[in-house]
Amino acid sequence: MPADRFRSLPDGRRIPSLGLGTWQIPDGPPIANAVRWALKIGYRHIDTAQAYGNEAGIGRALRESGLPRDEVFITTKLDPKLADPVAEAERSLARLGIEQLDLYLVHFPRGGPTRHWRGMERAQAEGLTRSIGVSNFAVSDLEAVLAFATIPPVVNQVQLSPFQHRGRLLAACAQAGVTVEAYSPLTRGAELDDPTLARVAAGYGRTPAQVLLRWALQHDLVVLPKSVHRDRILENSQIFDFSLSDPDLALLDGLDRTGGTPEAIENKWWTRSGRLRGVAWRLRERLRG
């Protein structure tokens, strides 16, 4: 088995480096089918969140797969609008139909980066989750948690791709020993026709999506592509039998549009200014349409 199929977390646990992202996949048949196909193909890592509303369907597919619980890594994320990480972890476990999470993340730093951390530590201490971490935390957020924590976060899950490389954030996570997970690694389809990406993919006889995912693996990231299509779920898994050359990695790194930012995301939708920007963007799109 290729060595890059797993990453070691700072607390000594292992995490599969490829996971199925499930954002915007509705509960019921859509999520159950996607998870069922992924597990049959060989995925052993499913990433969800309380805010996604699809934990019950994921649990159903996990039970129907017949796989032993310890063979599948399950992550969910605390909705920071809710007050008690312990109580919400218990509710997530009930929806998923499992006894313990593998990883529990603060979804985004609403109310401040340390607001929920003591509750996250209690959730781990009470055995509700094996590991705890954060998501959408910028360098300043991460530094605040690390200074505050008794148990430091082992993961920061962030929107990452060659187009959102976030060099200073990645460097800060590496220095702190925090494993980085990449969500939306396929740019939600927006950059799959980029000419540089297409040229690199053609040179390996691979799809642009596979090259984006391979780029993430070779930057030591855990990668979380999302799809509801069986053929694409399969395609996204076929990334362990080739490697990108150093010149091609550098070429892809040059696609970064963030200036190596320390920020985790450009539009912090959980803030008032972020919500206003989101409203303005939707209004512009409606007027264009």
Q: Which residues does the annotation mark as catalytic?
A: 52
Q: From the centroid of its chain, how far is CA 233?
A: 16
Instruction: Tell me phi and psi for residue 114, to 5 degrees.
Output: -100, 0
Is residue 34 within 8 A of residue 234, CB to CB? The reply is: no
C-alpha dihedral sign at 244, 247, 248, 252: positive
**Beta strands 20-21; 6-8: pairing state:** unpaired
**Residue 79, Cβ density class (10 Å: 0-12 exposed, 13-18 middle, ≥19 buried):** middle
Return the amino acid letter for 67. Answer: L
Q: In 3-state terms, the chain is what percent helix, strand and coil (to 5)?
A: 45, 15, 40
Instruction: Tell me phi and psi for residue 53, to 5 degrees.
Output: 75, 20
270 contact partners, CB below 8 Å, separation of at least 6: 80, 108, 109, 110
